[in-house]
A and B are shown apart, each in its own frame.
Chain A
Amino acid sequence: MSDGELIGSYIVPVHPHTVLAPEQNEGWGRLRAAYDAAAQRIKESEADLLIIYSTTWPSIIGHQIIADPNPEWVMVDHDFHELGSIPYSFNIDEKFAHAWNEANEKRGLKSRTVAYHGFPIDVGSVVALKLLNPDNAIPAVIVSSNVYANRAETTVLAKACMDVVKATGRKAIAITAMSLSNRMFTKPIEPKDDRIHSLKDDEWNRKILELLGEGRLEDVGQLSRTIHRQIRVNKVVAFKPMWWLSGMNSNRNNLTGEVLAYEALHGAGGAVVHLDPTPSGTGDIEYDEDDVEYFAGERNVLDGDQFETQDIESLKVEVPLGKPQKNGPALWEPTESKDSVNSEAAPKPVGAYPHARRVGDLLYLSGVGPRQPGTNAIPGGPIHDGDGKPLNYDIKAQTQAVVDNITRILEEAGGTINDVLDVTSFLVDMDRDFQGYNEVWAETLGQVGPTRTTLAIRALPTPIAVEMKVIAKAPKTE
């Protein structure tokens, strides 16, 4: 059996309007349409398990997991009972529930399964399952939100869940039933008058959705406590579902996100968001991190008048030629010959070869990577450390740096980037990086129009993800 995996995540709203009254307000209708679109995506996926973390099921004694294979009852919301009743009958994966419970205990969590006739499935789970899995075709599992759980406990809950997903070979989808801002109007309102409770709540909701739209789930998790203080009513369950969902996604920040809808539900912020695990091509770093090797910003903030931008040469690291570096092979001076073209503005070779060689009307460039001249730093970060441990990196930044290095070599030869005729590109991780690489290509060399071949290879000599082999027109010589 192959390893299981998470094939998608969804964030969905909890209030019953999307089930009981989508026609009463255009926004509620748009949320319902987004719910239906999400359901269609799930149906067309290979998903064989839906995992729901619901903020409307608080627990005290650890976490609780529904293990009744077919819970049936009628749900009426405590506040919105006038909208009507929701009968439910769900298909619960009892075996997975028990396995998750055991995995929780192995990881030190307090946990138990719940399988009692008449147990009240919470409104968030009922709404999510009714709309995302209307024919019960995919078995589900539901977990409570512990009121005392901190980030560590909530993250471990996700890790234990993924232990079971992987071990059982499941294709799972994770769902958080939650509001963004959860401040509702404290009086009844007419459906037509619904709007987000305040401008502040709306602004925060849009910040959250901007991050989620960029696939930056871990960033939202990191901001959870701030978000809770800013736009959340002090209910027992804090803004912790993002901790769980980020944990389910290996705390990544480069998912492919899409906001399907964002609307008000009696003043609260309701959104349907799809997070695809496919890397977005952006760096997997936190929102306030710059992935740089050397700090080149302003430090002399108290002496602003005297401040001058530091010469990058002053930061230059002396690397003895012929001696291996900590994270890569030794650097060489480029070889010189009658037809060679070498540039001080290009990174040093990792062997005995020139940057380029002129033959007739053509210029053949040696493979060009993203390393920076002088510092040897890799924009977007290296793909592994000196011990070979994989690191997160930004393929877009690396690709842009390759193009910049090609430009420098061509300019050294008296030409420009517009002279490029043919490119062979090498990627060490085609699945992860092709999209980001392709986007930068389209904005740079794609505008020039050379032929192109892209290959996946196992490794490059330095810890980089992309390299290009270029043939260009040679500038006419005097």
Chain B
Amino acid sequence: MSKGEIVAGCLAPHPPHLVYAENPPQNEPIAEGGWEQLRWGYERLRESLADVEYDAIVLLSPHWQTYIGTHFLGLPNFKNLSVDPVFPNLFRYHYDLDIDVELAQQIHDRAADAGLAVTMMKNPDFRVDYGAITTGHMFNPSWDKPLVVISSNRSRDYYSVEVMQEMMIELGRVTREAILASGKKVVVIASNSLSHRHFTTESAIPEDMSKEHITSHAMHLWDMRMIEYFRTGQAQRILDEMPEFTEQAIAESDGGGLSWLLSTLDIPTYPGILHGYGTIIGTGNAIVEWPARNHKEASE
């Protein structure tokens, strides 16, 4: 069997507003558009990967929040209606997604061997969280690639950002090992925003872009600082500053996705490609691709 490969790593946020604004047939509400900068960013990401062959998508979602370790979707298919409990007016999506159970199990087993608490989720009535579905749709609207969906272990809530990061770096390491051992070509995705302070009101027309902006200058500065690191290949600095960033920007990196992603990419020193940045109900969101397929020497 040939060696597996991570062809790309992506930061791909999941606010349901993006699916809402796209008006796909699976989603019930109808929009007049909105958040184009980010939707065009997703278009650029899709175009960047259009000619890249891969077998599966491994996605860590901050909105499947688990407190008893890390969980993996463990059945071949999930089909149901997902209604966002926070923005039900925007997101009521009929999903039908396939899971690469074999790869999920392989990552699970290596994580267990490494001492992490892990569980395969095999209840067929389980509803997949809207974050995984939003990122899944925006990244691959045709849903023609199987997914591995990993929960967000809320160890930061129990302990600290530092402990969370240690666990996520370890999970990233075993995820990488499992992918390389699997012989499959994989895209890894962290589905999280950057700064994560919301507005607590919503305009009468949710997609009214005259009302959309970052919640504060401080949040903007943190987002730009992180983006600068993304663009200049300074992944280690991102990890080093993760505690301050997570606390001060109330960042969604608290779910561990960004730390896990950088670890699966072996802490990349090459630049990430910024495909888009924009705000959604005040939170900062960047779409970034690390084209690992072009930097194989970096992790040889």
Contacts and interface: CB of A to CB of B under 8 A. Distances in A.
B240 to A, nearest CB: 22
| Interface of A: prevailing SS | loop
A266 B200 contact: no
Given A76-B125, A120-B83, A188 B157 contact: no
Nearest to A58: B86
B236 interface: no
Contacts of A233: 67, 154, 157-158
| Interface of B: prevailing SS | loop
Contacts of A351: none
A234 B151 CA distance: 18
Contacts of B68: 79, 184-188, 266
Given A58-B85, A118-B81, 7 more contacts: A78-B71, A79-B68, A81-B122, A82-B122, A148-B198, A186-B68, A188-B69
Size range of the interface on B?
Answer: 35 or more
A130 B123 CA distance: 20
Contact of A78 (B66, B81, B88): B66
Contact of B201 (A57, A62, A84): A62
In this complex, the member of A58, A61, A84, A234 whose beta carbon has the largest number of chain B beta carbons within 10 angstroms is: A61
B134 interface: no
Interface in B115-158: 117, 119, 121-123, 125-127, 129, 151, 154-158
A183 interface: yes
A116 B117 contact: no
Contact of A82 (B85, B119, B201): B119
B67 A184 contact: yes
A321 interface: no
**Which 4 residue pairs across A and B have the least CB separation, nearest first?**
A85-B125, A118-B81, A81-B123, A187-B117
B234 interface: no
A266 B125 CA distance: 22
Contacts of B121: 81
Interface in A171-191: 183-188
A315 interface: no
Given A61-B202, A184-B68, A185-B68, A76 B158 contact: no
A61 B200 contact: yes
Contact of B92 (A76, A118, A144): A118
Contacts of B260: none
B182 interface: no
Interface in B63-87: 64-69, 71, 81, 83, 85-87
Contact of B123 (A64, A76, A235): A76
A104 to B, nearest CB: 13
Size range of the interface on A?
Answer: 35 or more
Nearest to B129: A78
Interface of A: 57-62, 64, 74, 76, 78-79, 81-82, 84-85, 110, 112, 114, 116-120, 122, 144, 146, 148, 183-188, 233-235, 266
Contact of A186 (B92, B151, B158): B158
B125 A78 contact: no
Given A118-B83, A148-B200, A188 B117 contact: yes
A60 B1 CA distance: 49
A78 B92 contact: no
A188 B89 CA distance: 36
Nearest to B202: A61
A119 B123 contact: no
Contacts of B119: 82, 188
Interface in B207-255: none
B77 to A, nearest CB: 16
11 contacts: A58-B85, A74-B125, A78-B129, A112-B89, A118-B92, A122-B85, A148-B200, A185-B68, A186-B68, A187-B117, A233-B158
B8 to A, nearest CB: 28
Given A116-B88, A120-B83, A235-B157, A186 B127 contact: no
Nearest to B119: A188
Contact of B117 (A57, A60, A122, A186): A186
Nearest to B93: A118
Contacts of A148: 198, 200
B87 to A, nearest CB: 8
A118 B117 CA distance: 32
Contacts of B88: 64, 114, 116, 119
Contacts of B92: 116-118
